[in-house]
Every structure is written in structure tokens, then in C-alpha cells.
Structure 1
Amino acid sequence: MIAVGLAVSLISMALLGHEILLMRLLSIAQWHHFAGMIISLALLGLGAAGTFNTLFQKWLIPRFHRVFCLNAILFGLALPTTVGAARLVPLNPLEILWDPRQWLYLFQTYLILILPFFFGGNCLSLALARFKENIHRVYFFDLLGAGLGALGIVLLLFVLPPWECPPILSMAGFAAAGLVLLNERGRRFRMAGIFTILCGAVFPLIWPQGGAFPNVSPYKGLSAALLSPGARIVAERTSPLGWLAVVESPVIPFRHAPGMSLHCTAEPPAQLGIFVDGDSMSPITRFDGNPTSLAFLDCLTSALPFHLLKNPRVLVLGAGGGMDVLTARLNGARTVDAVELDANVISLVGDTFGEYSGRLYGDEKVRLHAADARSFLSRTDTTFDLIQVSLLDSFTASATGGHALSESYLYTVEALTDAYRRLAPGGCLAVTRWLKVPPRDSLKLFATAVQALERSSVASPQGQMALIRSWSTTTLLVKKGELSGKDLERIRGFCAERAFDIDFRPGLEPGETNRFNVLDEPYLSEGAQALIGERRKEFMERYKFAIEPATDDRPYFLHFFKWRTLPEILSARGRGGLPLMEWGYPVLVMTLIQAVALSLALILVPLFFLERERSAGMNGGRIAVYFSALGFAFLFMEMAFIQKLILFLGHPIYAASVVIAGFLVFAGLGSRCVAVLSRAMTPNGPNGNVVTILVAAAVVVILSVLYVIFIPGLFGRLASAGDPVRIVVSLVLIALLAFPMGMPFPLGLKMLGESQPACIPWAWAINGCTSVLATVLASLLAIHLGFNAVVIFAAALYGVAAMSARGLPHRNPAANVRE
């Protein structure tokens, strides 16, 4: 059992690692939301494996060792081969509405990427069916391996780029097969096991491709940049945060100055471009020490606050290539605190291209912080005269809705409230966004700022806000205090000299707006006036795009999609209307529809087979409800707590690793202990498993409600604590919840194993399919209702599972549980 258990752990470890790798690779090749759609459907391979084993278990289970080994080896081989094969498919999801071939390419991609999950799922499903008397142990090894995989893949991505990792993961498949062979009696099997393990050890060395680099979408910024004559990648860095590529274009140099005034006579110097996952370009500007070479920076809308403040103490959130830091230095900033999440970006700007950038980050006035921007805001005690946030995503990704489903905690009501608190009296918060027509980002940001000021007990937010616009960018200015007459005069002068439009300021006259960069209608000024007025809610409901303020509970700042606008956009696609489409949300719904259709097929087909061949009196409905509820509930809870801990731990990678690993490992420990708990709760009764399920579900429900109520206050009090303290607190909170969460699934399987063992693979298929659906549905619920609602739904589903457990077929479970 130990050898099989370790083999199960290795398969689970590689499966989770491969899932994360695919997300990274597809995010580089496409965008995050398309990557999520493709992977969600590929993960249905786990459900397909359960269905396959349900239909053919009479033949498979007696040949367990041989079938397990074959699938483990095929799993190991499929990890790198499917990645390489998928890159040969000319899939471009952005063309799916006008090129029917893309649907075929999408289907081909599904079929290719589903294979590793199918082979790995076969191993896990077979192990559960074969060792039904030790299901709690098998499930423990499954979750333990998955938890280690969550940590291991993050560590591996610090060492290797994602496209070189699949052959490394293949070693786990070969090792799993070898362990099972070593467990067989006979010298022949032992020799075969040793040989298989050795093959796995050398596999990464002999794999001919050496890694399949993803084909980056032609619509991404990197692809467009490399079309310039002589353009080339001069440096690369990879980490779990992303793939960084620095591009030099000597013939047609980068001169990135977004929204630069058309009256500006200063030419930007040559630049290098840092691209993150093939997009979101941040420039490294050549600086030779001569301030006049940076005069163009004063021609951007983001320079406005420096005309209101003298020698400010500046905080730059999202420093990137350093353009905002240069702007601060050019305008005589007393100090500059530059916050950048990715340490590789800091290294590229400060070290690799330090001479090119004029030792930008080596200046004694500049203090660097490798940290999450929102986390830094929450924890710092320093006050600043200016907090600057400028264009943290690319125009292409912003325009296509490339980040519509990405959680952003820097543009929420709570984030702007934190920023406002960190301002010194008279200080300014300046946020620059891309201009879209009709406006989306700018109006949503404005509404979010108004609510943040109201939460900060500002009686008249309109007296502290100004919104200006160039031909491609907008800058929102929020002052800690009333904008004075002198401030307003400086804003007017700044905009008039540079032909920028003022869309909002205190006392704005109708004739002052929409003068230079003329829109068909004064959308921004009219929208801003409506958002500051009493009919704000009515305006947001009537507006064609979703511009309600983002919050920490619903952190989807870049989600603007409304269903009622879709027919209008589609009708205008022949007239260039598709750029108005925010792709993220429709793709998510499309994923859910596809996943539901495939899941129903995978679940219903074996149900008919079981009823016809094996299941006189089988309560298929109860079984389906029980395992479906558990599949939804576990993933709902896990995804919600990843988001809640991102802010507390201060780093998305740390949060995801701690939560996923913590949930899986502690749930595995809960699974391992169910036998003891079941006997302890009803030592002489026949329903120990049912009672244990009811108690575990009750604990989960109670803790979930308590966490929703009390965790925000607890995290607020511990926000300034050190990393070790916050990680320990997070793991304790996770352990208390995950331990009982790990009990209902193996107990349900054990009850089936005692009365309807043929249903075990089917239950695995149900749980696997609903887990995939849960990842999609949780995002939809969070967008509309918030993550607190996702937690409450999860708790309710545990209640549903507990109630349906009474109807599961079972015998006297306590008497037969082995330790």
C-alpha cells in the first residue's frame, strides 16, 4: 500500500504542476482568460478517466498493476509531447468570431491537452477502486502529492522557464510506474521497476526538443515589436510571476510616451522595451544624465501633479522600467519610493541595463521595494506628498479585455482609501489609465475614487478631484484637501499649454471641456458629473458598460461587460465594433457552457451503464448530489481563500502556494484520520461514517461564517506583522478549515465501496467534472456577488452534501475500517 500510495502522490504532484505550467505557457502564448478556458476543458480529462474506469473496471481492476504502470508511463510521455503538439496547432482565439477554422483548432487543442489528465486520472481512479478498503489512505496520498506539487512547481519556475519544465515533471510518471512494479513479487518485476525509474531519470536529458517555446499571439505587443527591422530580444528572465523579454529595436527605436501632447517639441530618447508574458510593455529610457533629454516627460498627463507640488516625497506603485521614477527625479522630488513586484524587473533596470538607464535605481534619493503595491500601501507608516500609479497594463490587453478576469487589488475602493490615508495634508494621488471610447476605465476609476473619499469621511469629494485627458490617456488627480484657486489655475494652464482636455474639476464650465481632443460626445465630463451627483446609481445602471466601483470582495476593476450591450457590439463588427468587446467575461461563460455539456455527458453515460448492468436499487441521484456538492464546495472555498490571503500575505505567488498547498495537505491529513474519528464518534453504532460527515460539514459551515465575519479585522490587526507570523497565521486558519473539509469525500467513497464498489470510479468522475465547473462558476459568482458570497455558497454546499449523505448506500462502516 505504501508503494502505491507514493506512486499516487507522484502522479498527483505532477498533475498539479502540469496544470500550473499550462496556465503559464498559455498565458504567454495567448491571454489569461483564454488560457483558463483551454485548461478548464483539458482538466475534464480527470472526469473522463473516471468515466472510462467505470465502464471498463471489470477488466481493468484485476490487472491493476499493469494498467497503472502503463498509464503512469503514458502520463510521463504525454506531459512534454502534448505541450509540443499543442504549439503546432494554429489556434488564435481572438479570430474565433470571424474564422470558423478556429473552432476546429480549439477542439484539436482540447483533445491534445486532455491526454495527460486522462492518463493521470486513470491512475488515481484505479487506485481508489482497487484499494476501496483503504480509500482514506489513497486520498491522503493524492492530496499530499498535490500539495507538494503546488509548492514544488513554484520553486521549479524560479530555476527554469516554464517551457523547459514538462520533461522534468515526466520523471514523476516513470517513478510512479517503477514503484508499483517494485511492489510486485518476482525478480522480473523488480528489474523492470528499476529500469523504468532509470528511464525517468534520464528522460529530461534525452528529450529531443529540450522545451517547446510557446507561439506568442501576433496580436500581443512583443510580436508586433519584433516585426521592426533589426528588432531582437537582448535579455530574458523567468519566474513564477512571468516571462520578461527585453527588446532592442535599433532601426526604429522605441519612443514610448503614452498620450504625449501633440504640442510637445521634445523627442523621447531611445528606449528598450520590457515585455511581460509577451505584452504589457514597460520602457527603459536611455538617460545620459542630461535632464533636457527627459523634457518629453513633462508633456504627459501623468506630469500634472508635479505642477501642483514642490519637491514632493513620491511613491511610485508599479515602477517597471522606471519612467515614473525619471519623471519624479526630473521634477525635483525630495525622495522617491519605487515599488515593483517582480525583482527581475528591478535587476534588469538597475543592473543589466544600469548604464543604459543612467543608474536610475542607484540614485541615493530612490528607495526600491520588491513588493506587491497594495500590500506596501497597507503596511507602510510613511506619508507621501504624491502617490503615482501609471498604466500598469498594455493598451492591447486593456482594449481586448485581456485582464477582465484578473483580480486587481490596486484599483479597489479599499486600495484608494489606503492611498488617501498615506497622503500628507495637501498631497495628491494620481492614477493614469488608457483612454477608451466610450469610456470605461476612467469612469470606473472616478466612481471608485468618489466612494473611497466618501468612506474617508470627505463631505464633498468633487472639491478634491480633477480628471484630464490627452488623445490616448486620462489622469485622475485626488488631493487630500480642497483644490485651491491656485491649484485650479495651474491645472488650466498645464492643460492649455499641452492641448489636454479637462473633463472634471471643481466649477468646470460646459465650454471648457472637449476642446482639443474632441470626442463625438463629452462622454467623460458628463459621466463624471453624473457619478458625483445624486443619480449616480441610476447612471451606472443605464451605462452601456459595467462601471460600478471595484472592491476587495469584488476586485475585478477591468470587468466592464454587460450582456445587453453584446447585440449592439456584434451588429457593429463589420464596422470595427469588435474592439468594444471585453473578451474575458464572454469567454468565461463560453467555458462554462462547454464544460457543463461535456460534464453531463461524462456523468450521465456511466449512470445508464451502471443502472443497466449493476445497480438494482442504486440511488444514483443521491450519489450525484453528494459528490457534485463536494466538488463544487472544495474548489469554491479554496479559490475564495486564495484571494483573501493575497492581500494578507502581500504576494500573489506566496498566497497561492500557501493556500493551495495548505488546503490540500491539511485536507489530506483529515482524510487520513477519518477512520479513527469515525470509530470514536459512534464506537458501537452502525452509522459512524454518516455521523462523521455531518460533524465535519457542521464544522466547515460554522468556521466559514466565522471567517467571513472576523477575518478582515484579524488581517487588519496583523497587516504590519512579519512574513513568518502572517504565514503561520494563514496556515493555522487553513488547517482548521481544511482538516474537516478532507473527510466527506473519502468517507463517501468508503460507503460506496462497502455496498456499491462499481460506483467508485463514477463518483470520482462526478467530483472531477464538478471541480472543473467550480473554477469557472466561482469566478462568475465573485464578479457578480463577491468572494464572501462564494464562501457562503461553499458552506451551503457542504450542508447539502451532509444531508444527502444519509441517502448514500452503506453497511456498518465502523466495523470494517482498518487503521
Structure 2
Amino acid sequence: MITRKAFRKDVIITFFIAFTLIVYEVFLSRFFATIMDYNYVFLVVSLATLGIGIGGYFAYSQITKHRLLRNHHILGWYAVSIAAVVFTMYIITFVGIFFYAGVALIPFFLGGLVLAEFMQKHRDHIGLMYFSDLVGGGSGAVSSIFLMDSLNPLQTIGLISLIGFAVFFVCNVTMWNLRLKLFWGTTLVILIINFINPFYGFFPFKAFQTSPHNVFLDEKDARVIFTRWNAFSRTDVFDADDDDLLYITIDGGAVSPISKFNGELTQVDYLRNTTSYLAFQGRMKNRALIIGGGGGQEVLLAKMTGYKTIEAVDINEGSFLAVGAVSQFSNNVFKLPGVKPIVSDGRNYIRETNYKYDLIYLSLVKKNTENGFGLSLMENYIFTQEAIAEYMNKLEVGGSLGFLVHDEVELYKVVYAAKKYFKKQGVPEEDINKYLAVIGTYQHLGHVVTGLNGSVITRPLLIIGKRPFDYPEAVSLLASARQIQQIPIHIPYVNDRFMQINIMMKTVKVNLEANSDDMPFFYNKMVGISPKLIMLLAAVLLVALFMGRASKVSIGTFTYFSAIAIGFMMIEVTLMQKLVLPLGHPTLSFVLVLGVLLVSGGMGSYFSKYWFRPESNRYIPILFIGLLVLVINAALDWYNAQSLQMDVNQRVIVTALVLVPLGFFMGMPFPYGMSRVREKHVAASWGVNGILTVAGSLLATILSFTWGFSTAMNAGAAIYILLYIIQPKLNI
């Protein structure tokens, strides 16, 4: 007989396990982004979260053998494992993705083990238990960003490990003998010390220093002189013993130089020899917008070419802080007269601003992470076909739009988007070439870079005019390019090679259409879907099938819990991506979607029993979910196509109001299913559901890369609608 006090204790423990697990998961995506290529972040976090499902299956196997899980001890080891696992990954040299996935899985396994046993133990109150689980997870999602920004990612891990252990200690200390009190009491003291004065501070971040994805790995003399690590990125400033330059890196990559500057523009006169300088030779020079402030070199270019007002936008506040931190070297160029630094997503800012510009310039805007979140798909909305149209609409009549990109593939994607824009404006295809100019980079700051990384066209500069180039402008641009020893690829009238660019665009083996708001995968240069994703999806499905067969759950039970797991994750993950554009920041989108869906889902879980009708085998909330998703998906597509102006608070409120009813109903199918399955299959059903959430996020990725976000969301809705139609039997 379970007492009310024991039940309340398990509810509280469930809340804190869910809370700490979500914070840990968000941390992992941020941690792995600093040491791995961004394409692998999603893969490794997905492998690690398999531990929740495996823990559920292990709990089932122990229960069927009539072995009681000693939850109070497992909870303690769970809390300790979070700090121990992260510390281990921090201090050892870079190993590889499977090592990190395997080690990071340990807390998920232990947490999933306890949660599954609780669900089994309190099956009669499954709605309240799941309510605690979802509200804890939602609270963790919201808190994770705040904690990592206020402390830093590693100190956040020390805090949640301490919180989890404190809950364990308080709930169980009265049951221990003296020896256990001394052992666990000493552990508590160690965790408190670790939070106050983190142990990692006494050791170098070896995994970061030895990662092959750290651009300064081979620069033995390079030293870090500034670090800012928050929920969005790790920003470092490296001194590589170059007299005139320091280097900002974002998560070890995406290098932006900081020029030595004492306030006299003649000191940085060498910037006139860069390809970017050509973009600033505009017809008018009143106002410039630089998207991707970086180390501030473009601000200096705008200053030396005579622009009166310069707005520098960067989504990463760390870049501005880095330049400010080395102000004795940089003279903090973002604080110069006429310069305004703005922390914002460039695309969102261009929607909100009422100004028009003579130049909008984007220089090598790239962040080699997965937006800081392991389940994110979105790369960048600032290069899409719709973005080009919005930039062009914010240009003065004689203004220009400039892009400095990494290679020819990126060039073709932007040219393709520009061509679509001009065609919509009624410009005949044979005249589009007069609006565009392309210059390739031969050398940069004295170093020959042509052919870098096997590129046919290295670091090309694309200039798009609001009106066509005239002949004198073309002649001047050609002369300027040759004077600074850069490579004219296409300049109207005087070096017209636009036909060759069109031919090359047709032969390149990349989906040029994957550069729209529905498929914003600008930096994805793969043909088709990564085999790693397919292999991981197959592995997850095989593990789930094995678990279902080994635990002897019915086909109906397996189908039901598989469907709600896959459908939930497909909708949740895709919503995170689609809402980045209207909300203006990936962090805000992540927090709002995960927080609102989980908390409102917890409320739905609590009230789920009131929607059950014994005379019907169909559970109506499942149908409501599918229909709501279809409506929300269509509404988001409509909103993104409009030019509605709402401040960020209004957008957050409207988004939350839209998500609350969806989350409310999405929280109902799981506790309903748990209340219907055989008691001995509760833990196994939890395990199947936990493992197949990974399959859902993988399917969302595959469908989004292939057909777009809208298709992925509609597919998630279709899963719920089909589940309502077939409504498999659960109690057999």
C-alpha cells in the first residue's frame, strides 16, 4: 500500500528528474557544438537520449523478475553522474562521437530507469505523474537558457547536479544508517564545493583544445585571451601572434578577424585591398546595414568609404562583447560615432526596421553550430529567397545588396534566389545579368586563398543592385577589382559571364531550392539525405522492435506508443524551426515551444481522464491534435508570407496562446494509453515511447531536408489522424 506521503515524494522526484534531464540535454547540445562539427551534434544527442528508453526497458525487465529497484540510491547516482560525465568529457582529449554518445547516455539511462518505475508504480495516478514529468521538463527548458546565460553552461551542470542530489538527500536521509549518511553527506559537500568553485576551472578544456573542428588546433602559439560561453555559443578571442589582427571564433570555427585600430583609419588602410571593400563603393553613402558584425572589419570599411550611419547587427552578443573586451587593441569599433551595434537576428531586424539603406551587406555569415540546440534543423533564414526580397525592399532606389560567401555552391544558391526575385518583379531573364556582379577572391590580407578547400570560385562577392548597373559603374568596378588583384567573375557589359554561371548552376549537384523559408538549409551541400541519419533511424527502429518483442507488448500497444512518440517529436521539432522566423531568435523559439508544449501538456495530462468515454474505443483528443497542427501550420505559412509588424512581446503572447491548446491536447494520449495497457507493460510502453521519440526527431529532419518544414509538420499531423482512425486496442 502506497501512502499519500510516499506518493507526493515520488511526484516531487519525478518533477526534478524531468527538470534536470531537460537542462542536461540542452547543455549537451551546447557542449557538443564546441567540440564537434555541427552536423554531428544532433546525431550524438539523439544517441544519448536513447538512454531514456533503454532505462524504461531495464525497469520493465527488473519488475517482471520481481526485483524492486532501489530508487533512492539510483536517484543519487543519477544526480552525481551528470556532473561526473560532463567533467570526464571536459578533461580528456577529443575522442569521437560514439564515445561521447555512450558516456552522455548514462544520466539518461538512470533517469529513465527511475521515471519508468514510477510510472509503473503509480499507474492508477498516471495522469498526475505524467503532469509532474511534463511540467518539470517544461520548467527545465525555460530555465536552461536563463541558467546558461546567467552562469555558464558548465556551472549550470554543477547546479542541476546539486539540485538533483539535494532532492535525493532530503527525501531519503531519514532512512539511512550512519555509514550511508556519512557517504552521501560527503558527496553532497563535494557537489556544493563544485558549484561554488567549479572543479573544471582547475583544468584545461582538453576536448575543445584537441578537437579537429577547432580552427586553431594546429596553431601551437595561439592563446585564448577572452571567452564568453552562454546558451547560444562559445565565443573566444585568439591571439595568434599576428601583430595587426586578433581572431574571434564561434564554437571553435567561423573566424572573424579583429583589426588593430587606434582611431586613425589610415592604420587599417590595408582593408582597401580586400574583396569586401568593393561592396562599399556604392552610389550613395548615407546609411549602411551590416548583418553579421563579427570582429568589426566591415564597420571600418564603411567608415573609410564615407558612410554616415552604420548599423551592425549580430545575433551573437558575444561578438560585440569580445571586441569590447579587447578595446585597447580594437578601439571598440562598435562604439565609434555613427555606429550602432544591434543584437538581433538579421532577418528579423530587417522586417522590423523602418529605415532604408544604401547598402545591406552580409560577409561570411556562418555559425558552425546547430543553433545551440541538439534537435535544431534550421541553419539560417538570412539567405533565403524570401529574405532577398525583404532586403531589396529595404534598399534606396540606388542602393545595393552585397554577399560575401564561402564558395561557388553558396554563390549559386544566392544567385538562384536573386533570379527568382527579379523574375517576380517582371525583369526579363535576359536583363537580370545587368543587376548582378560577381568578384572572386584571389588574396586576402596578403595571403593567397584562391582554390581554398577545393573551391572553383573562392570567397565570391555578389553585388545585387536595386537598379541595373550602368556602363561607367561596371567599368569602375572592373578596374577596382583588378587594382586590388581580385578576380572578376561577372560584371555587366565589360566582363559579362552570366551565361557561364547559369551553366554551372545547372550542373552543380546541390538542391538550389533548399534555400527558402520552408527549407532554409543554405550551408547544406550534400546530395540527398545523410546516410548517417538513415542508419541511425534504422538502428532506433530495430532497438524499439526488439524491446517490444522482448517485453511481449501487443501489436496495438506498440503501434499506439510508437505513433504518439513519433508524431509528438515531429511536430515539436519542426515547430521550433518554423517559429524562429516570426519570433526572431532560435533561443526564444526553443524556450517557447518546449516550455509551453510541456507545461500545457502537463495540464492536459492531469485532465486526460475526463475525456475518456468507456463506450468508445476512440480517444477524441488524438483527432484534435492532428487538426490543430494542420491549422497552425497553415497559419504560420500565412504569417511568414506577410509583412505584419508586431513587437516581440506581442509575437510571444500570440504564439503562446496558439501553442497552449495544442500542448494541452498533446499531453493527453500518453496517460490515456498508460491507463489502458496491462499493468505489467507500463514500464515497457514507457521505454518504447522514449526510444521512438528519437525516431520522430530523425524523421522530422529527413522530411524537412527533402520536402520542407510544412511537409514534416503535416506528416506529424497525419500520424495523429491515422492513429485516431485505426485506434489500436491497448488492453490485450
Normalised by the size of structure 1, how large is the TM-score? 0.80
Aligned-CA RMSD value? 2.9
Match of 2:115 among 111, 124, 147: 124
- Which structure 1 segments of 5+ residues have no match? 94-105, 254-269, 514-524, 532-538, 564-584, 612-617, 811-819
Distance across 2 between alignment mates of 1:92 and 1:178: 34
Distance across 2 between alignment mates of 1:176 and 1:804: 43
Distance across 1 between alignment mates of 2:581 and 2:139: 23
Could you say what secondary structure the match of 2:593 adopts? helix
Q: Does 1:761 align with 2:683?
A: yes
Change (3 A) 1:190 1:551: farther
Q: Is the 8 A contact 1:667 1:743 kept in 2?
A: yes
Q: Is the 8 A contact 2:478 2:494 kept in 1?
A: no
Match of 1:726 among 651, 656, 660: 651
Could you say what secondary structure the match of 1:289 adopts? coil
Identity of aligned residues (%): 22
Which residue is 2:165 aligned to? 174
Structure 1 segment 590-609 matched on structure 2, within 5 A:
590-601=532-543, 603-609=544-550
Q: CA deviation at 1:364?
A: 2.4
Q: CA deviation digits over 1:265-300, x for unaligned, max 9?
A: xxxxx0111111111111221112322222222212
Distance across 2 between alignment mates of 1:434 and 1:107: 30
Could you say what secondary structure the match of 2:671 adopts? helix
Amino acid at match of 1:205: I
Structure 1 segment 639-658 matched on structure 2, within 5 A:
639-658=573-592
Distance across 1 between alignment mates of 2:631 and 2:426: 29
Q: Is the 8 A contact 1:635 1:774 kept in 2?
A: yes
Which residue is 2:475 aligned to? 489
Q: Is the 8 A contact 2:514 2:520 kept in 1?
A: no
Q: Is the 8 A contact 1:445 1:549 kept in 2?
A: no
Which residue is 1:629 aligned to? 563
Could you say what secondary structure the match of 2:263 adopts? coil
Match of 2:339 among 348, 366, 376: 366
Change (3 A) 1:527 1:746: farther
Q: Which moved more, 1:772-781 or 1:708-717?
A: 708-717
Q: Is the 8 A contact 1:430 1:478 kept in 2?
A: yes
Change (3 A) 1:111 1:549: closer
Match of 1:710 among 629, 635, 638: 635
Amino acid at match of 1:774: G
Structure 1 segment 663-674 matched on structure 2, within 5 A:
663-674=597-608
Which residue is 1:504 aligned to? 490
Q: Does 1:380 align with 2:383?
A: no
Distance across 2 between alignment mates of 1:172 and 1:271: 44
Q: Does 1:19 align with 2:25?
A: yes
Change (3 A) 1:771 1:609: closer
Q: Is the 8 A contact 1:129 1:761 kept in 2?
A: yes
Q: CA deviation digits over 1:480-538, x for unaligned, max 9?
A: 111111221122212222233322233465xx76xxxxxxxxxxx5552338xxxxxxx
Could you say what secondary structure the match of 1:249 adopts? strand
Which residue is 2:213 aligned to? 220
Change (3 A) 1:647 1:777: same
Distance across 2 between alignment mates of 1:488 and 1:107: 54
Structure 1 segment 327-342 matched on structure 2, within 5 A:
327-342=301-316
Q: Does 1:556 align with 2:521?
A: yes
Distance across 2 between alignment mates of 1:191 and 1:653: 45
Q: Is the 8 A contact 1:407 1:555 kept in 2?
A: yes
Amino acid at match of 2:492: P
Q: CA deviation at 1:79?
A: 0.8
Amino acid at match of 1:555: P
Change (3 A) 1:197 1:454: farther
Q: CA deviation at 1:312?
A: 3.5
Q: Is the 8 A contact 1:33 1:403 kept in 2?
A: no
Which residue is 2:38 aligned to? 32
Change (3 A) 1:300 1:92: farther
Q: CA deviation digits over 1:662-713, x for unaligned, max 9?
A: 11111111111112333xxx4xx444xx44x2x2122222222222222233
Structure 1 segment 506-525 matched on structure 2, within 5 A:
506-507=492-493
Which residue is 2:717 aligned to? 795
Distance across 2 between alignment mates of 1:662 and 1:17: 16
Which residue is 2:124 aligned to? 133
Q: CA deviation at 1:179?
A: 5.6
Which residue is 2:330 aligned to? 357
Distance across 2 between alignment mates of 1:375 and 1:296: 33
Distance across 1 between alignment mates of 2:726 and 2:66: 30
Q: CA deviation digits over 1:449-506, x for unaligned, max 9?
A: 2123333444443221111112232111111111111221122212222233322233
Distance across 2 between alignment mates of 1:772 and 1:193: 39
Q: Is the 8 A contact 2:548 2:688 kept in 1?
A: no
Distance across 2 between alignment mates of 1:389 and 1:20: 29
Q: CA deviation at 1:631?
A: 0.8
Which residue is 1:84 aligned to? 87
Amino acid at match of 1:327: L
Distance across 2 between alignment mates of 1:712 and 1:605: 39
Distance across 2 between alignment mates of 1:311 and 1:333: 5
Distance across 2 between alignment mates of 1:546 and 1:51: 41
Which residue is 1:784 aligned to? 706
Structure 1 segment 179-218 matched on structure 2, within 5 A:
180-181=171-172, 200=188, 203-206=191-194, 209-210=199-200, 213=205, 215-216=207-208, 217-218=210-211
Which residue is 1:433 aligned to? 405
Which residue is 1:475 aligned to? 461
Q: Is the 8 A contact 1:139 1:746 kept in 2?
A: yes
Q: CA deviation at 1:191?
A: 12
Normalised by the size of structure 2, how large is the TM-score? 0.89
Could you say what secondary structure the match of 1:466 adopts? strand
Which residue is 2:279 aligned to? 305
Q: CA deviation at 1:308?
A: 3.4
User: What is the total number of aligned residue pairs between the two structures?
Assistant: 701
Q: CA deviation at 1:804?
A: 4.0
Q: Is the 8 A contact 2:44 2:98 kept in 1?
A: no
Q: Does 1:465 align with 2:399?
A: no
